[in-house]
């Protein structure tokens, strides 16, 4: 499929955790072709890094066909993991340069599979600095925390 025919998607993701580890939430807001979609969720016992990963995984998983995505993210952990570290982790059998197992390996592997379906431009944004999309994703992540807390 040529790039000209791929849907263009703007996506913002964020994770939140009340305690680390603690009750966590993730949120994703995306827009494409005049349409918008918000999703969120959470876990009762998790970490902020896991929620940051989950937000991206869930957003990408929602897309039914390959897309050109501009992904706005405030997590350098996730962005660097995909753009800088993952290739080496995979080459080393999901071990770090220090020969330690990669933390959150299963989530990284899920993310790797989702990323492979799309063309993604990664854009780091400073969290809680007024970026409207990031603020919306943060609100969704906190909604995920609240929904999870209410279900306990």
Q: Could you give the 3-state DSSP secondary structure of residue 7?
A: coil
CA distance 11 to 31: 7
- Is residue 138 annotated as a catalytic residue, yes or no? yes
Of 14, 58, 110, 114, the active-site residue reads: 14
Of 43, 58, 110, 138, the active-site residue reads: 138
- Is residue 144 annotated as a catalytic residue, yes or no? no
Residue 15: is it exposed, middle or buried by C-beta count within 10 angstroms (0-12/13-18/19+)? buried
Of 52, 58, 110, 114, the active-site residue reads: 52
Of 36, 106, 119, 128, the active-site residue reads: 128
Q: Could you give the 3-state DSSP secondary structure of residue 142?
A: helix
- Is residue 14 annotated as a catalytic residue, yes or no? yes
**């999901």: which residue's tokens?**
94
- Is residue 36 annotated as a catalytic residue, yes or no? no
- Is residue 68 annotated as a catalytic residue, yes or no? no
Q: Is the dihedral of CA 3, 35, 126, 101 positive or negative?
A: negative
Of 74, 110, 114, 133, the active-site residue reads: 74
**Cβ–Cβ under 8 Å, residues 62 and 7:** no
- Is residue 15 annotated as a catalytic residue, yes or no? yes
Q: Please list the active-site residues.
A: 14-15, 52, 74, 128, 138
């Amino acid at each position: 499929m040529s790039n000209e025919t791929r849907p263009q998607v703007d996506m913002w993701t964020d994770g939140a955790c009340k305690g680390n580890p603690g009750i966590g939430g993730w949120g994703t807001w995306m827009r494409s072709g005049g349409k918008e979609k918000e999703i969120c969720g959470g876990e009762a016992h998790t970490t902020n890094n896991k929620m940051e990963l989950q937000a991206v995984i869930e957003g990408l998983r929602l897309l039914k066909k390959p897309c050109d995505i501009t992904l706005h993210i405030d997590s350098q952990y996730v962005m660097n993991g995909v753009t800088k570290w993952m290739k080496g982790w995979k080459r080393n059998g999901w071990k770090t340069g220090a020969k330690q197992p990669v933390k959150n390996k299963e989530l990284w592997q899920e993310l790797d599979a989702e990323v492979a379906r799309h063309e993604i431009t990664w854009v780091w944004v400073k969290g809680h600095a007024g970026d409207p999309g990031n603020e919306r994703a943060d609100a969704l992540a906190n909604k995920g925390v609240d929904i999870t807390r209410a279900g306990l």
